[in-house]
Amino acid sequence: MNIDVFIDRILELLVNPLGEWEKIKQNDTDDLWRYLLNHLTPMILLNVVSYFIGVVFVGSKISGASGIQYLSWPRALFAAMLLAAAYVGIIFAGSKIVNLIVTSFASEQDENNAFKLVGFSLYPLLIFGSLHIIPSIKAGIMAGFYGVYLLYTGLPVLMKTPKEKSATFTLVISLTIIGMIALAFSLINIVSGAGEILGVGV
């Protein structure tokens, strides 16, 4: 993927989401895995690599502990791999749920567009996730709010959701995805033993 196009997409989603959703809609998606690799994997890698560097090399001061605390690189690598897999799973599962319930909101079913909607709505979370490089910084709430806004602006374009149904549909999808993210993060931290401060999270 052309790096200039990639950067332009990030900026346009942040400052001109309606226009960028129209461009995203026009992209053909015959192979969702190829689309994931080309358009979403770089952001996922940015997120998980930042987390790995942060907990292994930067560390964080933990209350009650002396000095800066770090994760061992095997444990951090394991958590990072689980995090990458979780993002991919959330994108696919979220898009399936969207496409399954879309007719309940007078919208059009389209598997590819549902995939794009969920995937690119996670862009703010993935971008701000690069702040994992400083483990004590948690910016996920701000990213989450903008992700909800992206969902809201993307539904009428990609799923042809009527204006009067957009807010309710956005709320349902947002709560579903937030729930999946919270569950995934909790399980990763438990399985990897990363702990509250050095674990993945928002």
Q: Give yes or no for a contact between 154 and 17, defined as CB atoms under 8 angstroms apart.
A: yes
Which residues sit opposite 60 in a β-bridge?
69
Closest CA to 197 of 48, 63, 76: 63
Q: How many CA atoms lie within 13 A of 67 on its CB side?
A: 3
- Please tell me the predicted confidence (pLDDT) of residue 59: 85
85-115 as b/e: b if 16+ CB within 10 A: ebbbebbbebbebbbeebeebebeebebbbb
User: For the chain, which residues make up each domain, given as ranges?
Assistant: 3-192
- Please tell me the predicted confidence (pLDDT) of residue 142: 73
What tens digit of pLDDT does each residue of 85-139 get?
999 999 999 999 999 999 999 999 999 999 999 999 998 888 887 877 887 776 6
- Please tell me the predicted confidence (pLDDT) of residue 155: 97
Closest CA to 31 of 112, 122, 113, 108: 112
Distance CA 168, CA 90 (A): 21
- Please tell me the predicted confidence (pLDDT) of residue 80: 94
DSSP 8-state class, residue 191: H
Which secondary-structure segment (H or E) carries 61? Answer: strand 60-61
Low-confidence stretches of the chain (pLDDT < 50) are none
Q: Considering the entire predicted model, what is its pTM?
A: 0.90
- Please tell me the predicted confidence (pLDDT) of residue 183: 95
- Please tell me the predicted confidence (pLDDT) of residue 60: 80
